Structure 1
Amino acid sequence: MIGEIRKKDLNPVVDALPYIDQGYDEEAEAAAMALIQEECSRYRHVTSTKYDLPPLNFNKFLTELLKAEFERIQNRQPMQGLNMRRYELPGPSSTRVGDLDSWQEALQNAKAQLEQQDLRILSLELMVEYGAEAWRMYLEKAEKTRNLYRKHISSLREKVQAVHFSRKRKQTEAGDKLKQLEARWVSLVTKNYEIEKICAEIAVQNVIKRKQLEEEEEEQQQQQQTVVAES
């Protein structure tokens, strides 16, 4: 239940002035928890919020290739090896040795393989001639990019540190101001209490003096009546 909330079940309270606040005592914490419980008691307690979430879609990123691979693993089938046929130069089969079309097909395959090998050799020659320089330029660019990001990170850290220092300075000044205001408030409350106390004492004295005056006036009237009666 919400009424059974304990301290370990809550996240730390975010203080308004963390640089100067000294935390809160048990009485203040109990008072805050009482307010939280009173506020939570106004609303219906929800034990689960699962119905607020959409159903999980585990197949969102499951492609046909992944499905086939998972099926192969589930069936414990071996992985298909590399197709090396493109590197082979097979001639016509023994039954088609005299077939001209078979020889033309084999010749076209040989030309394609030769062209592919020429392209590979050309790529290797280009890599030997320009690869080292291209790689060096790439590393220099990567180094410059890394240094740029390092400077940017250092600048951000300095700005964050400056924000922390500024917050600490402002909160320290605010803390001193709050302490002064608190001391002034205590002084004013104390003076008001003393004034109220003196006013109450004066009021009591006024009541006593009023009674004394009334008694004196009554005594004088009685004396006057006595003198008149004797005369």
Structure 2
Amino acid sequence: MSTQFSLDALPYVDKQIDEPGARSIVDKMIAAEMKKMPKPRDPASLFPDIELFKDNELMQQELDRVRRGKPMEQLDLTRYQLHAPTSTDSTSTSAPSIDANGSPLSVQPSASEELPEGRAQWTQALENANAQLEHQNQRVLNLELVQKFGNNAWNIHNYQLEYDLSRLRKQVDDKRAQVMELNKLRKRDQLDVAESLHRLETKWGELISSTIQVEMASATMEQELEQLKQYEIKLCKELSVPLPGTEQQ
């Protein structure tokens, strides 16, 4: 059920607020009324206790880490490094291991290709090297794509943002124009009826004044009538005559 409010404020007609001391009185009345209003509830009390990520143990551990203020563990970068297989033959040698940036790592003797375990290690190292090579190829390809299409992509993105900004500004300007037009219509309507309102207000004041004068005259006449009655009773007592209307028929 919607609540309807009947607002009788006419700011362009009523000028009582401009009288000295009127604004301070209004502010005090508003402050007193606001003190009677219930205090707003704490937003946290509006929501029940919710257990986050109760079905995801990994996310719970991460949330607990954030709550305790512990730093995040560093990423494991070993898979981006090229390690030669360890040696099972003390007489064999290998090339030094290098990381993804081409920097040499610790030099260790490589495994012999003649041994089965050595072949497995070399196969694993070769697969890792191929993966690193493909990763570098993808990085180069991405850089080439950014260099070729990046400028246009950013220009299009900026154009879209500028279009959205201009559209939102236009909406704001339209709303402001509507508000301004509504205020103009309200002011015009109030000023059109201001003269009639003042005339009716003056007439109302005159009628109230006439009513008060009639009431005062009636009260004065009733008082005079009561005084005359008392004077009549006094005269009748002094003359020892019955009061009019009390004589026996």
The answer, yes or no, to whether TM exceeds 0.5 is yes
Map of 2:79 onto structure 1? 86
Residue of structure 1 equivalent to 2:166: 147
**1:92/1:103 contact within 8 Å kept:** yes
Residue 108 of structure 1 and its aligned partner are, at CA, apart by 1.0
Q: What pairs with 1:147-166 in structure 2 (closer than 5 Å)?
A: 147-166=166-185
In structure 2, the residue matched to 1:108 is 127
Gaps of 5+ in 2: 1-6, 54-58, 89-109, 113-117, 229-249
Per-residue CA deviation, residues 72-129 of structure 1 (Å, 9 max, x unaligned), is 53xxxx6533432232111112347131111111111111111111111111111111
2:68 to 34, 47, 71: 71
Go from structure 1 to structure 2 and tell me whether the alpha carbon gap of 1:196 and 1:121 turns closer, same or farther (over 3 Å shift): same
- Taking structure 2 as the reference length, the TM-score comes to 0.54
Tell me the TM-score normalized by structure 1: 0.58
Report SS of the residue matched to 1:93: coil
Q: Distance in 2 between matches of 1:120 and 1:49?
A: 54
Q: Comparing both structures, which one devotes a greater share of its residues to helix?
A: 1
Unaligned runs of 5+ in 1: 1-13, 41-45, 209-231
Report the counterpart of residue 215 of structure 1 in structure 2.
none
Deviation of the 1:189 alpha carbon = 2.4
Amino acid at match of 2:111: V
The residue aligned with 2:16 is 22
Check whether the contact 1:15–1:21 (CA below 8 A) recurs between aligned residues.
Answer: no
Percent of matched pairs sharing the same residue:
29
Contact 2:80 2:132 in 1 (8 A): yes
- Alpha-carbon contact 2:85-2:125 (below 8 Å) kept: yes
Q: Aligned partners of 1:165, 1:82: CA distance in 2, in Å?
A: 65
Counting only pairs closer than 5 Å after superposition, residues 1-231 of structure 1 correspond to structure 2 as 16-19=9-12, 20-23=14-17, 25=22, 53-54=45-46, 57=49, 64-71=61-68, 73=70, 79-95=72-88, 97-98=111-112, 99-194=118-213
